[in-house]
């Protein structure tokens, strides 16, 4: 079963706009990670946020974590065509931090 | 520095057959995890190997087995293949229980 669920399942925006994806999870976590996947290929790690952190930035990416609501969001600013991909959140639980559980993903399409 | 590599890239098998997929971790990584990703779904955790032993296992039947070698490379074996085993199989390596680095995957088609 999935630990995390992304929302929305699909998102289509104009190039240059910001894209926001949300992730909700069920159990206490050690950390939460966001990955990108292009066309069914391998996943690329984007950012990791630990349970004691609330916000993290990396380039055009901003991730927030609200452990009280068991939710996270990924914001991509000034989107580009190359950002078209599927985005997954993945959680590592306290009980077994080495095992990460993926959500079902958000398919992001950037219109030129 | 080579990243995570997997072989083969694509594979076609028939029901009932057995398959072996291979993974070489990123240099310096000692932990290998395997995932199954069905079309349109997120990756599902199969199992993880550390120090040549299975450390964690997901909700997969015993038909799925693995091995890790002294050089940290790993194999995933699936016996008695079913149509539902058709998927992208991803290998990921890590050094600490944090960021995992993924290979390009092996696309398995069971006919």
**Residue A42 and residue B90: Cβ atoms within 8 Å?**
yes
| Per-residue pLDDT band at A98 (split at 50, 70, 90) | low
Output the pLDDT for position A1: 46
Q: Select from A35, A44, A98 the Cβ nearest to the Cβ of B56.
A: A98
Buried b (16+ CB within 10 A) or exposed e, B5-32: ebeeeeeebeeeeebebbbbbbeebebb
The reply to whether residue B58 touches residue A99, judged by beta carbons under 8 angstroms, is yes
By the CB < 8 Å criterion, does B95 face chain A? Answer: no
Q: Which residues in chain A touch residue B56, judged by CB atoms under 8 angstroms apart? A: 96, 98-99
Least Cα separation, residue A80 to chain B (angstroms): 23
Q: What tens digit of pLDDT does each residue of A30-67 get?
A: 889 999 999 868 899 999 999 999 999 999 999 999 99
- Per-residue pLDDT for A14 more than 60? yes
For residue range B29-81, list pLDDT tens digits in order.
999 999 999 998 999 999 999 989 998 899 999 999 999 999 999 999 999 99
Whether the CB-CB separation of B89 and B99 falls below 8 Å is answered with no
The pLDDT assigned to A96 comes to: 60
């Amino acid at each position: 079963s999935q630990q995390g669920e992304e929302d929305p399942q699909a998102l289509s925006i104009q190039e240059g706009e910001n894209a926001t994806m949300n992730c909700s999870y069920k159990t206490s976590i050690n950390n939460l990670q966001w990955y990108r996947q292009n066309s069914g290929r391998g996943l690329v790690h984007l950012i990791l946020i630990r349970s004691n952190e609330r916000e993290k930035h990396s380039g055009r990416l901003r991730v927030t974590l609200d452990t009280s609501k068991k939710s996270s969001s990924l914001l991509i600013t000034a989107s580009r065509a190359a950002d078209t991909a599927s985005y997954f959140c993945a959680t590592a639980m306290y009980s077994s931090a080495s095992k990460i559980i993926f959500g079902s993903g958000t398919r992001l399409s950037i219109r030129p | 520095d080579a990243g995570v590599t997997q072989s083969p890239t694509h594979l076609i098998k028939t029901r009932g057959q057995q398959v072996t997929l291979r993974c070489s971790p990123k240099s310096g990584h000692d932990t290998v995890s395997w995932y199954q990703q069905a079309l349109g779904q997120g990756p599902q955790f199969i199992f993880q190997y550390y120090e040549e032993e299975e450390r964690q296992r997901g909700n997969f039947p015993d038909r799925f087995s693995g091995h890790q070698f002294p050089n940290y490379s790993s194999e995933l074996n699936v016996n008695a293949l079913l149509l539902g085993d058709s998927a992208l199989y991803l290998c990921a390596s890590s050094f600490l229980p944090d960021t995992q680095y993924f290979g390009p995957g092996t696309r398995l088609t069971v006919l």
